[in-house]
Structure 1
């Protein structure tokens, strides 16, 4: 018999026969916990459903019927439902617990999936969707956060539960279940889901796994959904043999998408007929829309003007997603060590070659801030009207103006950083530190202040675009880290052999003599 949540003497919380061990995530459907069945010792993922999802007696009966049908789905590619109680004071659904990161987090940590692993992923994900379809269930919400990576094997979670919450009494109040960029156009138009719906979401999820980017880009939800409706996707970086298949599956017309059976036949045997040439959903997925304007639910259009500019995976039009993923401790440590090594190398450079290093650092900050301003301008335009072929040439042609308009804020940052560095130099003078040590400390402080100072986010952004990808993989991070350390060591070796080199000058500045 199910009881309300209670707390044991040691402070642990229980729901029915389950002891809640740790929260796994929270979304529109409810809160998910890692839990243990006290009778069997089995660990499960326990989703405690929100009251507005379950609703009244009619809603609970509907949940019971759906869970009963979902319980028939059995597959290695699916986190099956193992228990549920729609009628208890705290209704819940328990599924097989899959240890591992979501695809969304896995790609953030380790980068895109490539080679044979990508084809294995695409096939496994399609097998999981097919298992749902064979049981008469549509998944309805395939996306990176609903795919758990058990090693290299994808496991689908939350299958079919979108139907439980797809209740007019809920959706008419302003909810559209799903994540922009992974919702197919027919759902945005308010049509019923079909097998072609899951094919579209499969392709969008595989595209994210292959490229590390949402196929319909980032930005406001309305802009993302409009690109999906128009079929304006970006598959650059996906393997050549997979790209046309994904393009066909991402067609805005459900009738032109290949069937899941055809996709699976090709994924199991690449010599099978190409999925691109077999649009056999015709007549089952609904006709192609001829109207040039979107027909989105009022609840979506109503909030479009204030939609935050965040990644689609984190932009919720009632998403089930957990809180935004954060980098793991290992990746954060690698990032920190790489930043630290770069700062120490900058200090070594300023100690060995003061004038050359100072000019190089200031010039680098100017270029980085100008590039950041230019890319932000292009990104804002793309959010409104999508990617255009002339974005690249326009960025290059506008570079001189971007260099000019970044001068005032760049000079402010540089003066602020130089002032702090001079203060550090004076502290070294007060403790009678040698000239080389003083320059080294001043260089490290200068680099840190250029990174942290006012407007420094436009320096950190472009550099993070280099450092963060390097930190995702241990091998490439180790190569980059050793290279930066080697540069710093070479500069220190030069300093120990030749002393401070004031090139392009020939003599030491008079102010430096006070350190001797």
Structure 2
């Protein structure tokens, strides 16, 4: 389905005039376009506001490269591109045919001869990619177009070269849960064998109208993909052993694409001869629709006579594009992962995945844990126009607040019900909670005109209504500071005070500029009155955040502060006056700043840090109180917990959970079986969660509960979550993954 161009859409790119919109996603927009000679193409662009981000540009270039690798026989032929343009774009063949999912929705489960022909064609497509050392990583019905000449694979937004993990967060499961391989669902490297697994799932869908692991919540699907046997009910008898081998959990048991092609089809006849009549008619309809008159361009909306008051309540609204306060991460790289393409290029971008075919009804689905889930509740994360950042969840007034798409989502801790979600392109640095209330910086630049007047607005802070996620009346507007500078931060909230990083400059920029000045300041959460301002070191150039983590401990505001050259310092300020009390380099070898973001643990006396040793630093002067060396040379400790009942807990790489005395750092114990099995594979990236009489540690099999008394693992929760926070009042530990949030009962 084509939709009208917006009033501010460009007239064209290169030699191509835009005719209509086909869809839009987190990375860009896909247009129907035509050359002067009459060639019709699907033209994909990157959103101009993210084009300055090198990570996004790299992803876009890799997508173009992958589309060129697969070529016109098996994909949409790239006919023109300019990835170095201010707004990168590429034009590809306009594919004449529906997505495979829509074909099944229209015609019902496809005949065996059609499934075999489609499968053989897809084997050729994947083989072409794999011979060029590229894996698709997101093969699914909506990414496969059915034409009269064979299937074509599109949307290479998360394709990548084999072994290249640079653009994927470690442990993240990128892709679509219903068609992932077990190794992909576990966050491991995706190989050609993983594409074969996904291909088999697609063919099960083509033959039955449902995937091999049913449908439902992403958490259910990820569990089934990893642990359950595929449901091949309804698959033609002769295809069952072929597809069962492709769906083997052991990737070494799966056939190559060449082997599978030979088992599926002998190559006889034309592809079109294997298609059912209803599907042929739909392909003809798509071909005829190319020359229909496009819908007219929409006019510009009427201009308001006056700008809205910044204090007015602002409910959550649909996303309208990245503001200047884009999502920033270490070194300027975005914390967002690309959500993929803009739907099926030659069909309906309005529907990402058609509803499963309903006749006959799908076979029984397999439930996690043999019919009993490990969780008390689980809820799907609302997706926005992008993926979420790896931010940790936090609590606010009975809610767990998590990154969701480009905004945030509030979910009830006790019942798991989603209360609200926002799509305001908020970054993790925009929000903070004191445990009871939620606050945010208000990006007026995203809400007002984008002319010259939009270059400067007062720094605006507002509480968030926890009932619907909207912002309440602004509690403070600080005209001294420019509220649209992208490096402003709301670093933490505690004891009725908000702590911020704020800049003074004439306009919004994507880099620090000479002449800008930056300050740390404290604002009273109740009155909006500024308590104090403390200058921060000058910055010129670069895109590094000032503060990576912050916490109030007694009368100290402690910061992990990033320096201009990317190193990390620990700085303590007096909460009453703002005076800097001490400034120390992070002890030991300089950490990667991303490894310490949001991972600060203090108590009333000490700050605890991991790394090449487990250390306690005195909050009074920043000096080391004690340190504990790893058991093995070259070993490291992950971020520790704060002191609990006189002990500090941390995961030692290759050893597992250990406890040291909070007073002198002497080792108290290591978990049973240290250095073996699950203990040896315990995740080091995050601090253990300590609640009641157990420590909770993440590992490859899920979340392990280690009894502090016996030092043994007493339960393992099957979960793909990788960020956890405990709520002892509700008796749960909350885990967040890429697509779900779940609560597990504390022991």
More helix by share: 1
